[in-house]
Amino acid sequence: MPRVALAILSTFAAVWLLLAKLYDAPIGWAVPLGGLAISALLLVLGLRFAPPPAPVSRAEARRIGRIVGWASAGEGLGIGLANLILSSIGLGDRIMAGIALAVAVHFIPLWRAVPMRSALVLALIFAALSLAGFILPSAPVAALVVGGGGALTLWSVVLRAIVASPRKSSLNSLNHTR
C-alpha cells in the first residue's frame, strides 16, 4: 500500500473516534486522544516500513490522481448531502451513518483504479457500519459503533499493510531480540 494511503487511513481512523465523541458516543475524551496516539504511531511505522510506491508512468499517475480526486470530491458531496438530508428529516443524530455510507461509496472507484485491494473490503465494511448506524435504537451507541468500527477498520488495514511489507525485516527483528 502506498505511504500516502497509509497516512490518510491512519489520520481518518483518529477522525472517526473524534466524530464518535462529538456525536455523543458514551466515551470520554481519552478515547479520541488515545486514538490520535495510535494513529500517530501507525503513521510513523507506516512511513518507516511501507514499501516505496510502485513505479507508474506519468499517464497512469495522472489517471489515478483524477480518479482519487473525483472519488474524494464525490465523498465530500455525499457527506454534505447526508448532513443536509438527515438533518432536514429529523435524523440529525444519525449523520455518522450517512458519513459512513458516503465513505463506503467513495472506496468503490478506488478499488478499481488504485493499487489498493483492500478498498473493496473497506467499502463493504463501511456500508455495514452505515447500516448499523441507522438501525441501532440508541443514537449514542450508533455513534460509538460507527466511529469505533471505522477507526478499528482503518487501523487494521494500516497495520496489515505494515506487517505485510517486504521492508518489515527491521520490524521483525524487534520481535526476536532478547
Q: What is the pLDDT of residues 17-67, one digit of tens each?
A: 999 999 999 999 999 999 999 999 999 998 888 777 778 889 988 998 899
Q: Return the pLDDT at 9.
A: 94
Query: Long-range contact list for 104-109, CB < 8 A, 24+ apart?
Result: 104/129, 104/130, 105/74, 105/75, 105/78, 106/71, 106/72, 106/74, 106/75, 106/78, 107/71, 109/67, 109/70, 109/71
Sign of the alpha-carbon torsion through 43, 47, 52, 53: positive
Over the chain (178 residues), what is each successive 10-residue block's mean pLDDT?
87 97 94 96 89 83 91 97 97 97 96 82 97 97 97 95 70 50
Q: Return the pLDDT at 1.
A: 76
Distance CA 153, CA 156 (A): 5
Chain Cα centroid distance, residue 1: 14
The predicted model scores a pTM of: 0.88
Q: Return the pLDDT at 167.
A: 61
